[in-house]
Structures are given as structure tokens and as C-alpha cells.
Amino acid sequence: MELAVAEQRFAGMTCAEAAELAPAFVLGALGAAEADAVRSHLAECPELHAEMAELHSVVPALFEAVEPVAPPAGLKDRILAAAAADLAARRGAAAQPAPVQPVSAQPLPTRPAEVPRRGTDFGSVFRRPIWSAVAIAAALAVVALGVWNVQLRDQLTGLEAYRNDVVKILDAAAQPGAQLAVLTDPTGGRGPSGLAAVAADGSVAMVMRDLKPTTGTQVYEAWLIGADQVPVAIGGFEVGGSGTASFVTTHAAMGEGVVVALTLEPQPGATAPTPPILAVGTAHAQSS
């Protein structure tokens, strides 16, 4: 069976022919036609091409062979300004004129003329995870400019997890009857921020970033505040060095416009929130 597969042509190429081109393919040293043929073969062929994977795994090492060169002053600003202009253009293209709440924790560029700090457009956030793209952008810029250390690597690992969780939250908020809350620092500072999806049955999925790690018995506690203005604890979670956390819990539905809030409690089981409220947002339905 394996022999039969190996002898078959996938995308006009046998496994042996693909294997012969493997070193040049992983190094990007094939002409376009040959590279396309290998790519197509890999896409269609059921074989694993283990040697291709082995050779490919070496390629990132070659980056480390490069002598670091200090980037020119101003490059970071140029990159961030270009990213901000791109974001602004996309927001403009989204044409959803209903900003609801500012997202304050995003380290966007600081050129006010080019970077209008508008409120978050839920519509555009919802259609495409631009918001998470913004979150990752500054970290990418730092990497691009050669600053790299263990701390940053941990942050990026956390950011990747955060980013994937954001996508899940947005998916959850897309369900019929679900609401989405953008949680931000109520003081307008650079405190924690995140998203919470409140499903029709009341279950809540939350993802937060820029949280200080918990110590000892500390927990972050999430609260729902309904029309009666009484905060109801819906569960707590601890946070490690990444500063990000995701959290899913179930609770009876509290209707449209429920407020989602986050506090840091000295120990689990709090029945009333301990000030200050670190992040808060009002849930709104995403579909009309």
C-alpha cells in the first residue's frame, strides 16, 4: 500500500522527486514552477514526507547565524505609524459608525495626527479580529527590531494563547442571543482589558490580558451586575506570568445589558467585590 502511494504521482510529481527537491524547497532555492510543484505535491500526497519536515526544522536556526545589526532610529515609529494608518483605513472601510467603548490598553502609536484614538467599532471587531491584531502588533514590532529576551518570549506565548481565546470569545458572541462585552480599565488607565461573551443561557466566556500575576490565595473574581445593580460573583481564576487568562463559567441569564466586571480578591469565595474594579464592560448583543 505504501509502495503504491509512493509510486503514484500527486500534482505531477512522485514522492521520490519531491524528496530530491526537499533541501532546496525548504531553503526557498527552487524556481517558481518547481516550488509550486512540490507545494502541490505536499498538499495532495498522503505521505508524511518526514525528511522534508526534518530538513525544514533546521531553517529557523539559520536566523541565528545572522549578525545582529542595530535598526535605524525612527524605524519603529515608521512601522507603528504605518500599522496605525492601516488600521484606521480598515476601520474606515468597515463603515460602522457606532463606537461604543474605548479599548484603552492597546499600545498603539503615539502620533495623534495619524492615529485617531476612536472607540472600538464592535461591528468591525466582530467581522474580523482586528482588535487582537492590534494587540499583537506592538509585540511584533518589538521582535522586528531585535529586542528579544525570555520575558518577551513568555509574554508572546501568553499573547498567542490570548489571541486564540479572543477568537473563541468572538465565535461564542456570534451565537444567537449572545452578547459581547469589552472590558476596560474604568479609570482609563492601562489596566487589564479583555472580552466577555455572555451566551443566551447566561454562561460567560471571558479572556483578559495585562493582568498582574496572582500570589498566595489571591484570585481574580468575575462579577455580573444586572438591572438590580447587585454584583453577583460568577467565579474566579488565578493568573501566571503571562498576564493573560481565559475563563468559562455558567450562570443564570441576566438579560440584555448586563455589566461584566473583574476584581482582585484576597481569597476565593468573595460575596461582594473588593474595590477597585479592575476592568468593566457592558454586554451588548452583536446581531440586530
Partner 1 sequence: MAYGIAYRITGDRSAAEDVVQDAFLGAWRNAARYAGARGTVRTWLLSIVHHRAIDAVRRRRPTVELPDSESGLPDTLTLPDTWAAVELRLDRAAVQVALGRISDVQREAIELAYFGGFTQTEIADRTGVPLGTVKGRLRLGLQGLRAALLPPNAADGAGRG
CB contact at 8 A, 222 and 195:
no
Binding characters for partner 1, 131-150, by CB under 8 A (x = yes): -xx--xx-xxx-xxxx-x--
Looking at the Cβ atoms of 55 and 253, the one nearer to partner 1 is: 55
Within residues 148-187, the interface with partner 1 by CB under 8 A covers 148, 153, 156-157, 159-160, 163-164, 167
Q: How far is the CB of 216 from partner 1 (least distance, A)?
A: 32
Q: How far is the CB of 12 from partner 1 (least distance, A)?
A: 17
Within residues 248-287, the interface with partner 1 by CB under 8 A covers none
Looking at the Cβ atoms of 74 and 188, the one nearer to partner 1 is: 74
Cα separations (Å) of 252 from 204, 224, 255, 271, 280? Answer: 10, 10, 9, 17, 19
User: Which residue type is seen at 131?
Assistant: W
Residues 6+ apart with CB under 8 A from 8: 14
Q: How far is the CB of 40 from partner 1 (least distance, A)?
A: 11
Number of residues that bind partner 1 (CB under 8 A): 71
Looking at the Cβ atoms of 73 and 188, the one nearer to partner 1 is: 73
Looking at the Cβ atoms of 122 and 223, the one nearer to partner 1 is: 122
Q: How far is the CB of 245 from partner 1 (least distance, A)?
A: 18
3-state DSSP assignment of residue 211: coil
Would you tell me how many other CB atoms lie within 10 Å of the CB of residue 13? 21
Q: Is residue 2 close enough to count as binding partner 1 by CB under 8 A?
A: no
Q: Can you spell out the DSSP letters for 150-209?
A: HHHHHHHHHHHHHHHHHHHHHHHHTSTT-EEEEEB-TTSSS--EEEEEE-TTS-EEEEEE
Within residues 15-44, the interface with partner 1 by CB under 8 A covers 20, 22-33, 35-36, 39, 42-43
Within residues 98-137, the interface with partner 1 by CB under 8 A covers 128-129, 132-133, 136-137
CA-based nearest residue to 181, from 91, 83, 256: 256
Q: How far is the CB of 33 from partner 1 (least distance, A)?
A: 7
Distance CA 28, CA 30 (A): 6
Binding characters for partner 1, 59-98, by CB under 8 A (x = yes): xxxxxxxxxxxxxx--x--xx--xx--x------------
Cα separations (Å) of 217 from 150, 159, 251, 279? Answer: 27, 25, 24, 20
